[in-house]
Amino acid sequence: MRVLLVEDDARIRLDVARALEAAGFVVDAEADGEDGWHLGDTETYGAAILDLGLPHMDGLSILKRWREAGRDLPVLVLTARGSWSERVEGIDAGADDYLPKPFHMDELIARLRAIIRRSSGHAAATVAAGEAVLDTRQMRVSVRGVPVALSPQEYRLVAYLMLNKGRVVPQQELADHLQSVHFERESNAVEVLIGRARRKLPQSLIETRRGFGYTIAG
């Protein structure tokens, strides 16, 4: 799943981006508020992490603009320590959760996963579909209790479909979640990955809806 990070502090941006990548996410990291707003407005993300104090456009304005434009991606806001007014403003502007600085990377990842699960209608850290079980904390898919050896890309693909189970996911949406905007996309990347993931999973788990996309039954 692709996540947008907007944070102007270079150190925090780098540390968070690394931690997110290690946790299996694809990350687009921006330092500038206006650039961050534009990416969130034009690209597809599974979630965003927003700092509030940013150059050119502050985090609250970004969030308000996204919400006014109907962008409903889950958003985690980074606030100054002990600032209750920032927390209140963040929630009022449409944030799904907030985290005061400084924070532990583990807590950031846990909160991010929680808002993603809530937004896809799953409260628990695991999602079951047929004989397959996704565990987002372990970054693992198991079939009948046996972990499946998926590559990070295959895992992202299967996890995204499982978090959206019961819905047909268009191929373009899948492609958007598998790659950062800074990489050139190969047109058949999704088909290739689907093929590889299918060979490791129960045959009928991922269905193709020709002309529409892919789905895992709910």
Binding site for Ca ion (CB under 5 A): 8, 51, 53
The CB-of-81 to Ca ion minimum distance in angstroms stands at 13
| Residue 3 or 162 with smaller CB distance to Ca ion | 3
Which of these, 100, 58, 59, 64, lies nearest to 82 by C-alpha position?
100
| Residue 53 or 202 with smaller CB distance to Ca ion | 53
Contacts of 48 (CB under 8 A, 6+ apart): 3, 4, 5, 6, 40, 73, 74, 75, 76
Which of these, 140, 143, 161, 185, lies nearest to 24 by C-alpha position?
140
Nearest to Ca ion by Cβ — which residue?
53
The CB-of-51 to Ca ion minimum distance in angstroms stands at 4
3-state secondary structure of 193: helix
| Residue 86 or 176 with smaller CB distance to Ca ion | 86
| Residue 51 or 154 with smaller CB distance to Ca ion | 51
The CB-of-126 to Ca ion minimum distance in angstroms stands at 35
The CB-of-187 to Ca ion minimum distance in angstroms stands at 38
Distance CA 92, CA 89 (A): 5
| Residue 24 or 53 with smaller CB distance to Ca ion | 53
The CB-of-72 to Ca ion minimum distance in angstroms stands at 24
Which of these, 6, 83, 90, 87, lies nearest to 49 by C-alpha position?
6
Query: Which residue, chain included where needed, has tokens 């999704």?
Result: 190
